Structure 1
Amino acid sequence: MKKSFVFTLIAFLACFNAFSQSLPYIKSSSFETGETLVYKLKYGFITAAEATLQVLDSDIKYNGKPTYHLLAQGKTNGTFDIFFKVRNKYESFIDKTTYTPYFYAEDIKEDNYTRTDKVRFYQSEKKIVGSKGTYTSPVAQTFDLVSAYYFARNLDLSSVRIGDKLTLRYFLKDEVTPLTIEYMGKEVVKTSQGRVNCLKFSPSISPGRIFKKNSRLYLWITDDENRIPVKAQGDVIVGSITMELASVSGLKEPLKIIK
Structure 2
Amino acid sequence: MRRIFLTVLAVLFLAVPARGTEDSSPPFGPGERLYYDIHWTVIRAGKAELICRDDTEMDGVPARYFYAKARTLGWVDNFYKVRDTMEAWTDMGVNHALRYKKDQREGSYRKKVDLIFNKRTNQSYRYTKGKLQHTLDQPEDVFDPMSILFAFRKHALYEGMRFDANVSDGKVSVVGKAFVEGREKVETGIGEVDAYRVRLDVRHLSGVFKKSDDAELYVWFSADDRRIPVKVRSKVVVGSFYMTLREYYPPDRG
Query: SS where residue 146 of structure 2 aligns?
Result: helix
Deviation at 1:252, TM superposition (A): 6.0
Q: Contact 2:71/2:83 (CA < 8 Å) preserved in 1?
A: yes
Q: Specify every segment of 5 or more residues in structure 2 that has no aligned partner in the other structure, as ranges.
A: 128-132
Aligned identity (percent) is 25
Matched, 1:25 2:18: no
Matched, 1:166 2:172: no
Distance 2:155 2:170 in 1: 26
User: In the alignment, what sits opposite 1:257?
Assistant: none
Deviation at 1:85, TM superposition (A): 1.1
Counterparts in 2 of 1:79-158, with a 5 A limit?
Answer: 79-131=75-127, 132-137=133-138, 139-157=139-157
Distance 1:209 1:29 in 2: 33
Matched, 1:16 2:15: yes
* Shift in alpha-carbon separation, 1:3–1:24, aligned structure 2, 3 A: farther
Which of 196, 199, 222 is 2:196 aligned to? 199
TM-score with structure 1 setting the length: 0.84
Which amino acid counterpart does residue 134 of structure 2 have in structure 1? Answer: G
Instruction: Report the number of matched residues.
Output: 245
Write the deviation string for residues 53-109 of structure 1: whole angstroms up to 9, x where unpaired: 1111243244x5421221111111112211211111111112112442211111111
Q: Contact 1:27/1:97 (CA < 8 Å) preserved in 2?
A: no
Q: Contact 2:125/2:170 (CA < 8 Å) preserved in 1?
A: no
Distance 1:140 1:98 in 2: 14
How large is the Cα RMSD of the aligned pairs? Answer: 2.4
Q: Contact 2:101/2:113 (CA < 8 Å) preserved in 1?
A: yes
User: In the alignment, what sits opposite 1:176?
Assistant: 173
Distance 1:10 1:97 in 2: 24
Distance 1:230 1:203 in 2: 15
Q: Contact 1:92/1:147 (CA < 8 Å) preserved in 2?
A: yes
Query: SS where residue 16 of structure 2 aligns?
Result: coil
